[in-house]
Amino acid sequence: MEALALTLHGSSVGYRTAGDGPAVVLIHGMAGSSETWEPVIPLLAKHATVVAPDMLGHGTSAKPKGDYSLGALATGVRDVLVALGHSRATIVGHSLGGGVAMQFAYQFPERTERLVLVSSGGLGREVNTLLRALSLPGAEYVLSVGTATGLRNASEKVAGWLGRVGLHPAPGLVEIMRSYSALGDHETRAAFLHTLRAVIDVGGQRVSARDRLYLTQDMPAMIAWGDRDPIIPVTHAYEAHEAMPGSRLHIYPGAGHYPHCHDSQRFADELLDFITSTTPAALTAEQLRLRITTGA
């Protein structure tokens, strides 16, 4: 599994890729990176070509001042696919990445074979109180203090000490600590807040795809969620499943916001089964026009 980089529109974009077969794109969540998919990539790569980009403002990618809307992030994922020579793919998105995946499917249906949502944003207003608070003015100062080097080093030392005595944090906690540690520099914090405020305000999630979920009747869809998700409630999974005709729903008992890390083998098995047992979408421009204009 290689960590590589492309230069697109003058900005460096990091990504990981592995395997051979049908293309599968893995889109990470807010303050995350392609590293969140590390447990899953080798399992999927036995049967698929996996592409996991670091979205702009995240991971090893550039953090320019600019547009961090879902539409812009989805276009960035499209550009990575084009640059790597993949015309179509199964699009998998976690948390914020789920919102990006839905936007990708809406903007580029001709490039989307299947849609997979993992603890996805964009399906309802409810979201963790801390994220709502960070949308308020002054969050920049709070983050700069909260992610100070000393505090970040302390959390890393605690994790290392636990490992030495044979105790290992739950996979979800590892991902939260990794995201927290990533906010140590000004550019990354600024990109994080631009991204967060594009989709969240003090009242909760401000962007919703629920009025367009009927469009997935022409596209195989799968939903995966932890039943103890503290970030986005599992009720969103059940409601989305109801609104997405023919979708598959997988609930992970005991899992939090990172079900793909909680049980990577199960997640990979279910995703590969979904890919091999469904026919890729082939939505034409006329079919999309009719769906949008008739709403059915």
Catalytic residues: 95, 229, 257
Question: Which residues lie below 8 Å from residue 124, measured CB to CB, with a gap of 6+?
Answer: 204, 205, 208, 210, 232, 233, 235, 236, 239
Sign of the Cα pseudo-torsion (76, 77, 80, 81, in order): negative
Q: Six-digit token pair at 174?
A: 């590892």
CA distance 88 to 280: 9
Q: At what angle do helices 186-199 and 96-107 cross, to 10 degrees?
A: 60
Across the chain, the runs of DSSP E, i.e. the strands, are 2-8, 11-18, 23-27, 49-53, 89-94, 112-118, 200-201, 204-205, 221-226, 248-252
Between strands 112-118 and 221-226, the pairing is: parallel
Buried b (16+ CB within 10 A) or exposed e, 104-139: bbbbbbebbbbbbbbbbbbbbeebbeebbebbeeeb
